[in-house]
Chains A and B, each alone.
Chain A
């Protein structure tokens, strides 16, 4: 029965970025459905949404799992625009994917035009310690340089999977509260003006 709740919980929009094959989809599915997918199937663009309890508050998390492949670089801009927080994933077993995070970071900053956008650097596949190519040191230094947290996860063992999503959502929530405070009047004005403009044009 489709009774629409009057007050829908707040939605936090999270975007998964990173090179192909680092485990974005794996992390997402592990978080959403507690399952680990062994085989690799390139993602195009997947949407997930579910209700969760964040520090006692009902919220919805909306996850956009994106393609890591270069072919799609051009359309990423579109996606990034809608994101409120980003999990930037690389695989600790693949240096190339770590290098690629730099590019993703830059693209996000360019599109969002915001240095403080909620953002976590995530080193995935930490269960494959023996195949590690990127040291913890290295990665945390980069994170520090960007001013973001660094967390290592495993989609296979579920280590820190919940943590990265919850941490990111807390940051998003904090950001939204800040924004409401600082731009209480102005923000509204702005949007009104914009809409009017639209009509006239």
Chain B
């Protein structure tokens, strides 16, 4: 709280209504708006107050009459006090003949003239002989006029009303005093009535003197008559008239000069007093130029308050001039208001100006509309710009449409040219984050009443439509350039034809674009937009996320298809017996899972987990399926393209001679680094098994751990398919291996015209059996060269066919001699013994059948066979070890 204001100086200290007074003192506040009250002689003159400094105010006096105080009130100091007095004149108390310290307006400028020129008895002596009360006249003249219609309080008037007089002059006089006054009045009247006679009586002496004098004059006149003629006063009269004329001549001139002077002075006075008004057009123009709109508005309000209702013609010119300027200013401000870019604060200020200037514009609404239009236009121009940058790009793309070129240049394209649609989306996101909040803010300000303008009916709906339109356009622009398929045809036509880049290209950018859209989304969420609006973007995001996921998976599928096999088996480390193909596959899948998880999967603000949506889940399954089957496809391609580039090399792998595969491997290694067909089959088989048993489970775990819903179904499918593939590959291999191996048994057996009806006792097993063993050892070596995991599968199957063949051949023998039977048993048992570890039940059966076909032996013969077997095993100890599992 500040100290209360004190008025200690007035310049001037008296004057009629309309006097311009410099009021000095202390604590008048620190700015014009601190002054909240000003009365001069009890009349509120705040409107005219002009704050100059904490010590000085200039104001114009009102209709207060008589001596009174000048009281200033300030916002922080309250109502003040006054040390000095101001004396307000009644206009009528100053006539042309009265001297005054100030110039008096003789034509009333204001409508204050209702104090008509009635000649009050202000200076007259009171008829009751009482002193006149210092005018603390509480009874307003209006009241008196109303109550005493047609009367007045002037004692000399024929319309005199005693009631009026008493109320006006003696409202506070006591009854006793009034009675005394009445007595006084009576005495005076009495005195006037009977006074004549007593007056004569009392002054008889001087009356007689007067009579004498009159007689003397008469006599004198008589004696003068002959001397001066009948009309002695004629000459005198003439002289008087003459002098009167002369005087008038002089006086007229002086008077007219005085009148003129008076007029000039009045005019000057008016000019001086209303300098403010007359200078205002210029001042306003200057301030408009300087941009001091607050001052302009302040001045304008003052003029409006003071002169709007004036009837004085002079005062009409200036305001109309001012109005013209103000109108121009309004137009300019309105223009500025709608010129973008502009901050909300600036707009608010302009709206306040326009409201204060009583502009006919619906400024606030126009500001909102222009903002909304601006955003839409901006979208469009951004779109157009990027459309124009796209042209040359398209040519380039055509040039590189060929897959090879694209693949080789992919790096180049990445560096040089970000696709137009990516730039476009980036920019449109940045733009909405930047300029949409302002639209929202100004709208809020408008509807919350902060702008202090009337909100028209229906605006709420219209505004909502605007906001929705902006957001929808935003979403549609984005959809049109990445996922046009989600738009209907009309929208697709309206929102552009930016070319959606090819999958591999866009895949790089999608996570980043998703981030851009999300960042805009979170900006809008922070604004507290209605759900209805936010959901539009929410849906866009959902579409984008699904699209992103789908594209990423598709890209991976493509990459998987491109994977090449290097046929390098890894012999140590975590993944033994496989090439790096399945590992690369795993790597790719893990990578894509990670990326999808990071970009699309998890929901950020106001987003639900992507895969809660059935559509998304279905899409995921579809994509996982296609990834897995892509790999399945690669594996199966690898296993069936027999004649990759080395058709000539698919020659016999198994010969009667030992060690051929090694040499053939050598040649191919030197040539292409591609192993022979059988090896490739084995490698692929191994990869298959490894994928089925390890990789797929790892992928499954990775999906789970990354928060994807279960894709068990897909994986199991893939497993089944892989199993089938394995079987096929194995069949292929066996076809390649066991057929020749088994096929050699019979010819070898009868080599050199051998006959089972021999007479020589066996000393060893026959060469065909040894060859068979060696051949199996070769296969064993080949398989273990790839992966020991394959041994069981492969060797068991071969042994089965060997056993079956043996049975077939044996059953075809016409006649066994004793010795022949011994030999056959030794051979079969040796094979049985050697192949023991890889003998399935079926094989066992075939061996048994084969033995059954051979004639039974005596005990002595059995011992001999045992002996032969023992010797053979000793001799072929190394071969035996080869086929033993340890």
| A interface, CB within 8 angstroms of B | 2, 25, 29, 32-33, 35, 43-50, 60, 62, 64-65, 67, 72, 74-75, 198-201
Assess whether B710 is interfacial by the CB under 8 Å rule.
Answer: no
Contacts of A60 in B (CB 8 A): 83
Asked, given contacts A2-B81, A32-B9, whether A48 binds B129 with beta carbons under 8 Å apart, the answer is no
A181 to B24: give the CA distance in the assembly, Å: 38
Residues of B with Cβ closer than 8 Å to A? 8-15, 22, 24, 55, 81, 83-86, 99-102, 129, 131
Given A33-B24, A67-B101: A46 in contact with B12 (beta carbons within 8 A)? yes
Q: B131's closest neighbor in chain A, by CB?
A: A198
Q: Which of chain B's residues have a CB closer than 8 A to the CB of A62?
A: 84
Residue from A32, A44, A64, A74 in contact with B8 in the complex, judged by beta carbons closer than 8 Å: A32
CB neighbours of A35 from chain B (8 A): 55
Complex CA–CA separation, A201 to B13 (angstroms): 32
Contact partners of A67 in chain B: CB under 8 A:
101
A33 to B99, CA, bound (A): 31
Give the number of A-B contacts (CB < 8 Å): 62
Q: Check A43/B11 contact, CB under 8 A, given A49-B84, A75-B101.
A: yes
Contact, CB under 8 Å: A199 / B131: yes
Asked if B24 contacts A43 (CB within 8 A), the reply is no
Most B CB within 10 A of own CB, among A2, A48, A75: A48
Whether B131 pairs with A44 at a CB distance below 8 angstroms is: no
| Residue in B closest to A44 when the chains form the complex, CB atoms | B12
CB distance from A127 to the nearest CB of B (A): 23
- Complex CA–CA separation, A2 to B9 (angstroms): 19
Could you tell me if B101 and A46 are in contact, using CB atoms closer than 8 angstroms? no
Partner pick for B9 among A48, A72, A199, A200, CB 8 A cutoff: A48
Given contacts A72-B101, A201-B129, contact A46 B83 (CB under 8 A): no
Nearest A residue to B82, CB-CB? A49
8 residue pairs A–B, Cβ–Cβ below 8 Å? A33-B55, A43-B11, A44-B15, A45-B14, A47-B10, A48-B10, A67-B101, A75-B100
Q: How far is the CB of A176 from chain B (nearest CB, A)?
A: 20
A49 contacts which chain B residues (CB < 8 A)? 8-9, 83-84
Which residues of chain A are near B13, meaning CB under 8 Å? 45-47, 64
- With a cutoff of 8 Å between Cβ atoms, the chain B residues found around residue A29 in the complex are 9, 24
Could you tell me the distance in whole angstroms from the C-beta of A104 to the nearest C-beta in chain B?
17
* Cβ-neighbour of A199 out of B10, B11, B55, B129 (below 8 A): B129
**Known A33-B55, A75-B99; contact A47-B24, beta-carbon cutoff 8 A:** no
B86, closest chain A residue (CB): A47
Q: Which of A50, A65, A198 contacts B11 (CB 8 A)?
A: A65
CB-CB under 8 A from B84, the residues of chain A are: 47-49, 62
Smallest CB–CB gap between A187 and chain B, Å? 22
Q: A2-B81, A75-B100, A75-B101 are in contact. Are A46 and B131 (CB under 8 A)?
A: no
State whether A47 touches B101 (Cβ < 8 A).
Answer: no
Residues of B within 8 A of A32 (CB): 8-9, 24
Residue from the list A50, A65, A75, A201 in contact with B83, Cβ < 8 A? A50
Q: Shortest beta-carbon distance, B433 to chain A, in Å?
A: 57
Q: How far is B102's CA from A164's CA once the two chains are assembled, in angstroms?
A: 28
A33 to B101, CA, bound (A): 25
Known A33-B24, A48-B24, A201-B129; judge A74-B99 contact (CB<8 A).
yes
User: What's the dominant secondary structure at chain A's contact region?
Assistant: mixed
Q: Taking A47-B13, A199-B131 as given, write out 9 further A-B residue pairs in contact, using a Cβ cutoff of 8 Å, ordered by the A residue number.
A: A2-B81, A29-B24, A33-B24, A46-B13, A48-B8, A48-B24, A49-B84, A75-B100, A199-B129
A48 partner residues in chain B, CB cutoff 8 A: 8-10, 24, 84
Residue of A nearest to B71 (CB): A2
Shortest B97–chain A CB gap in Å is: 12
Among A25, A45, A200, A201, find the residue whose CB has the most chain B CB atoms closer than 10 A: A45
| A44 touching B101 in the complex, CB below 8 Å, given contacts A33-B55, A49-B83 | yes
- In whole angstroms, how far apart are the Cα atoms of A154 and B50 in the complex? 30
Q: Are B102 and A44 in contact (CB under 8 A)?
A: yes
Q: Are A47 and B85 in contact (CB under 8 A)?
A: yes
The residues of B that contact A201 with a CB separation of less than 8 Å are 129
The CA-CA distance from A74 to B81 in the complex, in Å, is: 33
A43–B102 alpha-carbon span in the complex (Å) = 10
Instruction: In the A-B complex, list the 5 residue pairs whose CB atoms are closest, starting with the nearest.
Output: A46-B11, A47-B13, A44-B12, A49-B83, A48-B9
Kindly report which residue of chain B lies nearest to residue A60, judged by CB atoms: B83
A50 close to B101 (CB less than 8 A): no
Determine how close the nearest CB of chain A comes to the CB of B131; give it in whole angstroms: 7
Q: Determine the chain A residues whose CB is within 8 A of the CB of B15 once the complex forms.
A: 44
Q: With the chains together, A45 CA to B14 CA distance in Å?
A: 7
- Report chain B residues within 8 Å CB of A2: 81
Most chain A CB within a 10 A radius of its CB, from B14, B83, B85, B101 = B101
- CB contacts (< 8 Å) of A199 on chain B: these are 129, 131
Cα–Cα distance between A32 and B83 once the two chains are bound (Å): 13
Q: Once bound together, how far apart are the Cα atoms of A29 and B9, in whole Å?
A: 9
Residues from chain A with a CB closer than 8 A to the CB of B12 are 43-46
Please report the C-alpha to C-alpha distance between residue A62 and residue B9 in the assembled complex, in whole angstroms: 10
Say how far A75's CB is from chain B's closest CB, in angstroms.
5
Give complex CA distance A71, B498 in Å. Answer: 90
> How many angstroms between the C-alpha atoms of A27 and B50 in the bound complex?
24
User: With a CB–CB cut-off of 8 A, which chain A residues contact B10?
Assistant: 46-48
Q: Which of A50, A198, A200 has the most CB of B within 10 A?
A: A50
Task: Compute how far the CA of A78 lies from the CA of B101 in the bound complex, rounded to whole angstroms.
Answer: 11
Tell me the minimal C-beta distance from A133 to chain B in angstroms: 29
Inter-chain CA distance A22–B389, complex, in Å, is 82
Docked CA distance A43–B101 (Å): 10
B83 partner residues in chain A, CB cutoff 8 A: 49-50, 60
Residues in chain B near residue A64, CB distance under 8 A = 13
Q: How far is the CB of A87 from chain B (nearest CB, A)?
A: 16
Check A45 against B101 for contact (C-beta < 8 Å): yes
Q: How far is the CB of B736 from chain A (nearest CB, A)?
A: 120
> How many Å from the CB of B22 to the closest CB on chain A?
8
Could you say which residues of chain B place their CB within 8 Å of the CB of A46? 9-13, 22
Residue among B81, B83, B85 with most chain A CB within 10 A: B83
Given A45-B101, A75-B99; A50-B8 close (CB under 8 Å): yes
- Cα-based distance from A60 to B760 in the complex (angstroms): 165
Enumerate chain B residues within 8 angstroms of A200, measured Cβ to Cβ.
129
- Nearest CB on B from A52, distance (A): 11
Residues of B within 8 A of A50 (CB): 8, 83
Residues of A contacting B85 with CB < 8 Å? Answer: 47
* Docked CA distance A65–B22 (Å): 13
- A201 and B128 CA atoms in complex are apart in Å by 10
CA separation between A32 and B131, bound complex, in Å? 37
- The docked-state distance in angstroms from the alpha carbon of A67 to that of B15 is 14
Q: How far is the CA of A91 from the CA of B162 in the complex (A)?
A: 56
Shortest beta-carbon distance from A10 to chain B in Å: 14
Query: Which residues does chain A contribute within 8 Å of B100, judged by CB atoms?
Result: 75
- Residues from chain A with Cβ under 8 Å of B102 in the complex: 44-45
Least Cβ–Cβ distance between B645 and chain A, in angstroms = 109
Nearest Cβ on chain B to A73's Cβ, whole angstroms? 10
- Chain A minimum-CB-distance residue to B19: A44
**Measured between alpha carbons, how far is A43 from B86 in the docked complex, in Å?**
15
Closest residue of A by beta carbon distance from B103: A44
- Residues in B neighbouring A72, C-beta threshold 8 A: 101
Contacts of B22 in A (CB 8 A): 46
How far, in angstroms, from A75 to B94 measured CA to CA in the complex? 14
Distance A9 CA – B100 CA, assembled complex (angstroms): 31
**Min CB gap A11→B, angstroms:** 10
Give complex CA distance A109, B22 in Å: 32
**Within 8 Å CB of A75, what residues of B?**
99-101
CA distance A72 to B100 in the complex (A): 8
B261 to chain A, nearest CB (A): 11
Question: Taking the nearest CB of chain A, how far is it from the CB of B327, in angstroms?
Answer: 36
Given A2-B81, A32-B24, A67-B101, A47 and B9 touching (CB < 8 A)? yes
For B131, the chain A residues whose CB sits under 8 A away are 198-199
Q: In the complex, which residue of chain A has the Cβ closest to the Cβ of B7?
A: A49
Smallest CB gap from A74: residue in B: B99
Q: How far is the CA of A72 from the CA of B101 in the complex (A)?
A: 6
Q: Within the assembled complex, what's the spacing in Å between the Cα atoms of A200 and B12? A: 37
